Structure 1
Amino acid sequence: MASYGRGSFEGFDSYQGASGGRESGSDFGKLSQNISSNIQKITQNVAQIQRLVAQIGTPQDSEDVRQRVHQTTHYTNQLAKETNNYLKELAHLPMPHSPSEQRQWKMQKERFTDEFSNVLKTFQTAQRTAAEKERASVQRARAHSGINQSPFQDSYEQNDTMVAPGYSQTREVLQMEQDVDLDLLREREDAIKKLEKDITDVNTIFKDLGMLVHEQGEVLDSIEANIDNAQMSVQEGTTQLSKARDYQSKARRKKCCLLIIALVVLAVVAIIIAVSQKSRRKMCILLLILLVAVTIVALIIWGATR
């Protein structure tokens, strides 16, 4: 059986290429695309791990099944680490100036964090189930072979004088089988230790995600404060504009009132003059002037109140 973690993983060459060819730039769009792609891969791998783990301890169980569990689990663990790094890069990108873009970035980050956290929980559950089944399998194999209680080699050495010559070949065959079983058990135990290490790595990623969510909460507060400030600025601008319009309207009304008062004074003076002169012609002229003046005032007031 090929040892888990030894050499390159068959069927996972695309991961190596994607990791090596990743640009160092922190562009939001590229990071978002990488995160989305990795979450999708992790989801697919977790489903495959669950199907393989379900076969452990059943008639469908085999060394090939366990090897595929180990390989897929380790590869998925590497994907999770990479995705975690992507999320950190995404969180530390300079925020755009537009409040609408800030809100869009914030929603995208939250969506990625939630999706990644959920798939990690499922992945960790599959990891623990695999480790538990592997441990139970090793314990049953050890109990069945009796390796823990009395190694075959010591038993055979103690009974060398009691074994008949005709059974020496049988003893050698049993010794070889015991050596093979012991190597297999040790290899399985090593695989279990690596599974447990991967579980620890996922726990570390969960801690990073917790810190990331906390930081995003602070950024969210800042974004909302900026949006509120922008809205307040708009409201203040609207209020100031309304006040300016009211001031202009009042100024126009004041001018109109002054003009009307002046015209009334002129009309009164004209009437007094006309009466004193007792001239109808002058009276008509003054009245005509008064009519024109009133008409002009009416037009001015109408224009001011539009």
Structure 2
Amino acid sequence: MSFDQLSSLESQPTTTRRQDDPQYSDDPEFQRLSKELMAKLFSLTGNISRLTNEIALLGTKRDTERVRERVHELLEESKDTFKDVGEGVKKIQSWEDVSPSQKYTQQKLAREFQNNLSEFQNVQRQALEKQRTSASAARTALDEQQSPSAEGGNPFGQQQSQEQLRLASQDEVDFQDSLIVEREAEIRNIEQGVTELNELFRDVAHIVNEQGEVLDTIANNVENTRTDTRGADLELRSAARYQRNARSKACCLLLILAVILTIIILAAVVG
């Protein structure tokens, strides 16, 4: 059986096989966990889509505090869900004594998790870039408001600047400063989330690569077995051919011996 045939066999659902055979009966706990992980991955796909739409509003005229709150909530919710799913995927990948259908489920979950996490990391980077740009612009504007430039010895200009300072509401300045501090805290939180998910991505990728090496070993063993089987078949055919030739030669020798023996007997009788 070729490796392609083995792969097609693995992709077949267990319902098409013998249900009374323990080798092909999936573990109920494995099924429950895999279905739960697939449901969470589906919800994460929706979160990524909503995040993409919300992040596109940052830095535009439609940018509001409510938009930023939704972005923050979706980022936190998705990050926690990805960490939960990642632990589940690692648990699934380390499941022992899996059937061919369970092996297919392992590969599918790992593939879906890596694809979704890669998309989410791109969204995280977009949000981080826009948050940094916004915080930097707000900090620059606040510094300019608190420290107006001097007018170069112009008394009128200095009086005007002082008047502007008096008109500026200290409460508004404090409020803007608190918003900037909050945004900077969100930036640090996003950066931390990016680091944590990068580690999780590497962990799952490492496990998948290890399993890939095992699958390559299995494929090589199957191919080697196939080659050895072909070689053994050729050797058996060659041996059978040699045996037939040997039998033919033995029959010829026996016939020659019989003729010689007959001649000797006839010569003895006649003599």
Aligned to 2:161: none
**Amino acid in the other structure paired with 2:46:** K
* One-letter identity of the residue aligned with 1:182: D
Question: Which residue of structure 2 aligns with residue 207 of structure 1?
Answer: 199
Cα offset, 1:257, TM superposition: 2.0
SS of residue matched to 1:206 = helix
Structure 2 match to 1:124: 125
Q: Tell whether the 8 Å contact from 1:39 to 1:115 is kept in structure 2 after alignment.
A: yes
CA contact (8 A) 2:135 2:180 kept: yes
SS in 1 for 2:86: helix
1:220 is matched with which residue: 212, 224, 227?
Answer: 212
Q: Give the TM-score normalised by structure 2.
A: 0.62
Deviation per CA, 1:228-275, whole angstroms, max 9, x where unpaired? Answer: 123212322332233233223322321232123223433455577789
Cα RMSD (Å) of the superposition? 4.0
Q: Give the aligned partner of residue 9 of structure 2.
A: none
CA 1:276–1:35: 2 relative to 1, 3 Å? farther
Using the alignment, how far apart are the partners of 1:220 and 1:255 within structure 2? 52
Q: How high is the sequence identity, in percent, across the aligned residues?
A: 11
Specify whether residues 238 and 32 from structure 1 end up closer, same or farther in structure 2 by C-alpha distance, changes over 3 A only: farther
Q: 5+ residue gaps in structure 2?
A: 1-27, 149-165
1:247 is aligned, of 239, 245, 260, to 239
Q: For residue 80 of structure 1, what is the amino acid of its counterpart?
A: K
How do residues 157-196 of structure 1 correspond to structure 2 at under 5 angstroms?
178-179=170-171, 182-183=174-175, 185-187=177-179, 189-196=181-188
Quote the residue 2:58 is aligned against. Answer: 53
**Equivalents in 2 of 1:34, 1:238: separation in Å?**
46
CA contact (8 A) 2:59 2:134 kept: no
Relative to structure 1, the CA distance from residue 96 to residue 238 in structure 2 (aligned partners, 3 Å threshold; closer, same or farther) is: farther
Q: CA deviation at 1:185?
A: 4.2
Among residues 45, 48, 63, which one is paired with 1:43 in the alignment? Answer: 48
Encode CA deviations 1:17-48: one digit per residue, 9 max, x unaligned: xxxxxxx9554752662464245224313321
How far residue 180 of structure 1 moved from its aligned partner, in angstroms, is 5.6
Look up the match of 2:82: 83
CA contact 1:73–1:127 (8 Å) conserved in 2: no
- Aligned runs of 1:18-29 on 2, under 5 Å? 25-27=29-31, 29=34
Of the two, which has the highest radius of gyration?
A: 1
Partner residue of 1:168?
none
The answer on whether the counterparts of 1:52 and 1:69 sit within 8 Å (CA) in structure 2 is no
C-alpha distance in 2, partners of 1:272/1:77? 108
Using CA pairs under 8 Å that are at least 6 residues apart, name the structure with larger relative contact order, 1 or 2.
2
Tell me the number of residue pairs that the alignment of Structure 1 and Structure 2 aligns: 223
